[in-house]
Chains A and B, each alone.
Chain A
Amino acid sequence: MNLKQKARVYSPWVFHAHAGGCNNCDIEIAAVFSPRFDVERMGVKLKNNPRHADILLVTGPVPKQVEPALKRIYNQTPNPKVVVAIGGCAIDCGPYNYDDAPENYALAGPVNKIIPVDVYVPGCPPRPEAIIHGLALALECLALKK
């Protein structure tokens, strides 16, 4: 690992992309950055700009209106980048799409249909501890990427 990579892994910056959904996972992400769960002890910092970010946290089932925005956010993030899909909606559309029901007209599918996903964090919503574990896995992915 060279110096640049080391610096990136020891202090990754995170962008939170909300793509539809019920806002529950977003509240848990907010809890992760609060003093109680304090993910900043791992050096992770929340940023408001995808151009500064190393890790994208995506929540929600991605409605058709949000799809171009999500693609743009992904393209704006500099390489190397890691995408973490958080919650049941981001992994498989959750309650917005059932196998036996007609296909939802408003959805552009789960996140991995639109952008490549590296880490999946299941739960509805996932516990803050589970999100910390997902971020730890994302850091391992980031260390392997050049």
Chain B
Amino acid sequence: MVNGMAMLIKELLKNIKQCITIDYPAGTWPGKKYSQIVPYGRGMHEFDEEKCIGCGACASMCSSKTIKLIDEEGKRTVSIYLGRCIFCGKCQDICPEEALKLTPKYELANINEEKLYVKNSLNMVKCESCEKFIFTEKQINTVKNKVLENLKPETKEKMKLDIEKYLKLCPDCRKILSFKLETHPRKLY
């Protein structure tokens, strides 16, 4: 009994020296000693509005289907509903432009459900023949640059005109108007 008490007091004295409870509110880890928030932790999303092209890769990859593309009145909005998000980071990995990042910000609780959205909206362009909204401006420019980068110099000149025509049409009109292109297969033979 006495022996046990002595051991207990010894343990207690050992534990007084080190702090068990972490600080709250806590900063990120290297600065604050008693905190478990690491700088590379996964928390709230942040869009780089310059870089995002509105391609929707993140929406198709999202494991809890919380990212939605909403097209209305010539604007495409990429909206993330944090209420469903599981902070897996797949959207960050898949984004081809590295526009979406998860920040270590974890304090997301809110009294208003409407404030749990992270949004980014982009301008869209119309199809030249049927006047439907198709893609975002930035997406068309990025696709054009990426395709032209990978072409041989001989074919580049010829393709450049075609790609500009092609990217301004919606998928339905492309099928109908494909014979107008310079590089249509029938014109090559």
Contact = CB atoms under 8 A, between A and B. Distances in A.
A35 B84 contact: no
Interface in A99-136: 99-100, 112, 118-124, 126-127, 129-130, 132-134
B82 interface: yes
B111 A127 contact: no
Contacts of B65: 98-100
Contacts of A36: 20-22
Given A35-B20, A88-B83, A98-B65, A141 B109 contact: no
A54 interface: no
Looking at chain B's contact residues, the main secondary structure is: loop
Contact of A95 (B36, B64, B107, B111): B64
A70 interface: no
B116 A120 contact: yes
A122 B116 contact: yes
Nearest to B24: A132
Contact of A124 (B21, B36, B87): B87
Interface residues of B, number: 25
Which of the four size classes fits the interface of chain A?
Answer: 20 to 34
A26 interface: no
Contact of A129 (B20, B82, B107): B107
Interface string B43-86: 00000000000000000000011000000000000000111111
Interface of A: 35-38, 41, 88, 91-92, 94-95, 98-100, 112, 118-124, 126-127, 129-130, 132-134, 137, 141
27 contacts: A35-B20, A36-B20, A37-B24, A88-B84, A91-B83, A91-B84, A94-B64, A94-B86, A99-B65, A118-B111, A119-B110, A120-B109, A120-B110, A120-B111, A122-B85, A122-B108, A122-B109, A124-B85, A126-B106, A129-B107, A130-B107, A130-B108, A130-B109, A133-B106, A133-B107, A133-B109, A137-B111
Given A88-B86, A130-B106, 10 more contacts: A36-B22, A37-B21, A122-B108, A123-B108, A129-B24, A129-B36, A129-B107, A132-B24, A133-B109, A134-B109
